Every structure is written in structure tokens, then in C-alpha cells.
Amino acid sequence: MKKLKITSLLLVATMLGATACSSSDGNKETEATTTIAAVIETQPTEEEVDLPYEYGLGKTFHANEPVKYTMYFSDASWYPMVDTWESEGVFKKIEEATGVDLEIIAYDSGDYMNNVTLDINAGDAAYIIPKIYDESAFVDGGAIVPISQYVQYMPNYVEFYNTYEMQKDLLTITRSDGNYYRLPGMWEAPMPDYSLAFRKDIFDAAGIDITALEKDWTWDDLCDILVQVKAYMVSEGMCSESDYIWSDLWCGNESGQGNGGNLLKIMGNSYDVNAGWAIGDGMRYSQENDNFYFSPTTDNYKEFLKVANRFVAEGILDPETFTQDDATATSKFFNGQTVIMSINKGQYASYVTNLDENLGAGNYELYYAVAPQGSVNYSAAGAGRLECGVMISQNALDDLGEDGFIEMLRFVDWLWYSPEAYTLIKWGVEGETFQYNADGSKSLLPGFCCGGLGYGATSDDDVDIRLQWGYAGGNFWYGHTLAEGSDAFIPPVADFVSRVGEYRDTAPLAPGLAPSEDQNEEINLIATPLIDNVNTWTLSFVTGKADIDAQWDEYVASCNGLNAEGLADIYAEVYGK
């Protein structure tokens, strides 16, 4: 067989060494701290004068000589890429602005990661690889550029990184070699999303004002409230004593992943424990002790289980929640059988549509509330500020040479990290598709709509700017400041986001850990059966099949039997504490 480019690790190392920061003395530890510094200083290229392109903070990147870069594109079949994107839409506008001809390699979104993985593994990757959630499978072989060594050439990235102090966040994706391999989407602050939706009209009728309570209510308060509401509903004949008024989605077999899903995640987060979707391997960081510990056997976890169980025991929360499929939960809520249900930002509009259809507009009031507190006042958004991001293929460095490579990075920098490109990619062109309002906000011009921005079509002639031109698609649009991120929010959602910011604190970010290949393997070997056990017990406790007080010790013993302590030891070893 014809041999492909067999990239010599040595060669890569040499090339990287030449461009790494000046203070690098070959020691990996130092390298890690220099490339992921608290403040990065932008670094010009050696011959900054005669660059064949323009770039800079607040400037549009523009290549004076035509350049062509290959880029993957995750193509969603519900807004498939069509020729007009290239001929007059988003790709055309990018080319007009920057002089860069992007050769798009589109893969269907359902197969995107599979196709990209194959290409990278076969040494045939495109230069720019967006929409990457987990880069760990690619970093060892030298197919992906350790991008942390180059970010100093990217002014917009550096600006955002320094302004919002992203160092700690970036350390969470730093590998054991001291580099990170993905340019992540970066948020100014964690963006609140999942929370609870209430039928405010019924709560009001029962004499409860959620809006006043949500600021500092606890889960126990919420349970008391729901008991009161149920009593009211029974007295009004709206339901019977045996009915549950809460049947939740994202918790069942289908979407709950067998760990209690979204609801237990939100509850657990407010008790400072890993639970539900966020169970992971159970390990959590304690700021107080500056170490990692196994959270599912802590007192906090017991407390969390007790309160979760109380909702079931009081006849409020349907225990079927943890096995049913989502459609069961939503249909009950939309029919008015239940009065509270989980929600996220993307679903708000669809909840309204469905309630309108079933109950009739004006016959109900929906409220997107801030989730209650537990033992701590953390926002349910968690601590992470990173999103999926862009990897850069080693092929780009090999083919373009160092100077051309840095030019490309500066284009990438503009496209993903500049406010200008963000607006273009999301809203299109001012005056063509959208306008700035007097208050500085943006809105689509009449005659346009966009499913992705929450603008429904008002007439059949409306042009969807996403379907027609590819704006507001998921490939470019992530991260940025809260103001930018929320520039398309409808008022109830924007209001929810700001209330969360006001009422809740952000959880402390766990420091980044970089276990070695072997340590990782060990962690996985212990964690898989251990977490299966935790999930089984947790759901039994919550649904009342097991007694929390009587069987707690038995549960803790079973976790220790599965080497929960060994897991903590490995973490201590990795963290160095």
C-alpha cells in the first residue's frame, strides 16, 4: 500500500519547539504554565510589516492574496446546506469580507463525528475542524496541532481570554503534555439554561406568588408550596388526591440515561454533589479542602436524596418520571394535568405553542422560574464556561508553512472570536437581513424569519435566513459574551437569564486535571461499575423503594466495595494532593 504521510513525532516536536513561547526550556511543566498563562500577550509574527493580509483587534481579517482553506461542516438535515449559501449566503459573505475561499467539506450532522474521526485517523483531515466536543481521541498521534502554543497570534481570542480570565477554564481541557488541542467556544459566564417551568395561573389562584419566592426558595419550600397547590387543586376538583401534579421529562429511560437525568442534576448541583446527568464519575472538587472527593457518599448527597424523595413521598412527583418517556411528561403538562415541569431555553417557544394548542392562548400563564436552592446557592448552569470548539489539523501546518499557518489562525480568530463575525454569522448583513434598533438590540427585517433565532414565519412569503443563506447555524455560533449570546432571546427567556444571574452564584470551577493514559484507563475501569451502583441505589432511594435512613450505610458500604476510595486515591495522585 502506498504510504501516507507518516508524521514523525520528532519532526512535529521540533517544529513546535521552534514556535513555542520564549520562556520554554524544554521542561513540560514550565511549558504548560507559559502557554496557558493568566494573561496571554499577543505576539506578532517576525516580519509583521509585509504581511500579505490585514488583521487585528477590531479589524476585519483580510487576505490580500487569495487563500483557500478546507473546513468541515456539520450539515443538519433539518436545515440542509444548499447552493445559495455558497453563492449568496454566509460563505459568500465570509469570502467577501476576508478574501478567504473556504472549501467546505460537509458531512451530515448525524455522521459528522464518525466521518471526521475517520479522516483524521487516515491522515486526510481538513485544516479547520469545527464542532468538536471531545478531542481526547485525537491528541496522542500528532494529527492535531496543540493549539495552545499558537493562541498568542490570535488577537480576538487573546482579548476575550484576558478580559474574562479564562485561564482556569482552559486548564480543564489541558492535556497531560501541558497543551490544549481545541479552541473552545468561550462564554463570559456560564449561560443558564435548564430550570423549571410553572403554570403560574394555577399557583396564583392557589395564593402563591412564585415570582416573589423564587429568589431564595429551597427545595423544601418548593415541596411545601406544591403540597399547598395540590390541596387547592383537589378542593377545586382539578385533580384527585391520588394524582401527581409533577411528571418530569429528561429523567426517564429515554433521556435520563438511567441516572435520573436533568432533575437530579439540578437538585444535586444545589447540594454541591454530582447527580443525574452530571454524575460523571462522582468525583467533585472541594474548594475548602482543595481536593477531589467522591460525592455520592457524602452527607450532602444524603440530604439531597431525602429532599428528592420527599417530592415522591408527598404525592407530588410521579415516580414514573424516572422510567417514562418524555412524551408522557410533556403531554400531561400540555393538557394541564401537571403544573410544573423542567424546561430549557430552546424549549420555551415550543411549550407556549403546545399549551396554546391544548389549553388555548390566554387560558394559562407559563413562568420560567429560577430553580430552588439546596445547601448552597449555586446556579444550575454549573461552573463551565467552555463549549464545543475548533481543532486545527496538522495538515494545515505541514501544507501552509508556519507563516501561512499563522495567517489561517488569524482568519479562524476573526471568524470565531470577533464580535463582527459573530453578528454576521448569526444575523446576516445589516440592512439586508437585520437592523439595529434604537436601543442597540437587533431584529430581523420584515419579510425574514429564522427558526434558529426564534423568529417564526408570519406569512408564507417570509424567507428563513437560515434555510436560505445558512445564517444562525450551529457551526460557528458558540460562546461569546452574555450580551451577544442573548441578543436573540425572547423577553421571558432573557428575563430568566438575568434573574438567575441576580439570584444565584456561580459554582466554583474545579481545577483542570490531566491524568495520564494509564490513569485514565484505571479511572474508567473503577468508575463504570461504581457509578452503575450509585445510580441504582439513588433511584431506589428517590422513588422510595429503599429507605434512606435505614439503608444508607449499606449503600455506602457497597460503594466502598467497588473501590470508591481507590478512585479518590487516583484523583489525589493526579492532582498532587
Interacting residues with another protein (CB under 8 A): 1-4, 6-7, 9, 75-82, 105-106, 108, 110-111, 113-115, 117-118, 120-124, 137-138, 140-144, 253-254, 257, 325, 327, 344-347, 394, 451-452, 528-529
Burial class (CB in 10 A: 0-12, 13-18, 19+), 27: exposed
Nearest distance from C-beta of residue 316 to another protein, angstroms: 22
Q: Are 97 and 91 in contact (CB under 8 A)?
A: no
Q: Tell which residue, 469, 433, 441, 443, has the closest CA to residue 86.
A: 469
Give the residue with the Cβ less far from another protein, 473 or 512. Answer: 473
- The grid coordinates of residue 196 equal 423549571
Smallest separation, CB 265 to another protein (Å): 17
* Nearer to another protein among residue 47 and residue 83 (C-beta): 83
- Cβ at position 499, least distance to another protein in Å: 21
- As a whole number of angstroms, the distance between CA 164 and CA 155 comes to 14
Cα angle 133-577-299, degrees, rounded to a multiple of 5: 80
State in angstroms the smallest separation of the CB of 424 from another protein. 19
Residue 80 in grid coordinates: 440542509
CA 8, 9, 12, 13 torsion-angle sign: negative
Nearer to another protein, 112 or 203 (CB): 112
Burial of 260-277, coded b for 16+ CB within 10 Å and e otherwise, reads bbbbbbbbbbbbbbbbbb
The smaller minimum CB distance to another protein, of residues 138 and 411, is found at 138
Nearer to another protein (CB atom), residue 88 or residue 505 = 88
Nearer to another protein, 88 or 111 (CB): 111
DSSP 256-300: STTTTHHHHHHHHHHTTS--GGG-TTSEEEETTTTEEEEGGGSHH
Cα separation, 156 vs 55, in Å, equals 10
Least distance from another protein to the Cβ atom of residue 243, Å:
16
Number of H helices, E strands in the chain: 22, 16
Which one, 132 or 546, has the nearer CB to another protein? 132
CB of residue 329 vs another protein: minimum separation in angstroms? Answer: 12
> Smallest gap, in angstroms, from Cβ of residue 331 to another protein?
10
DSSP state of 239: S
- The distance of closest approach from Cβ of residue 441 to another protein in the complex, given in angstroms and rounded to an integer, is 20
Query: Which amino acid is residue 182, in one-letter code?
Result: R
**Which C-beta is closer to another protein: that of 52 or that of 110?**
110
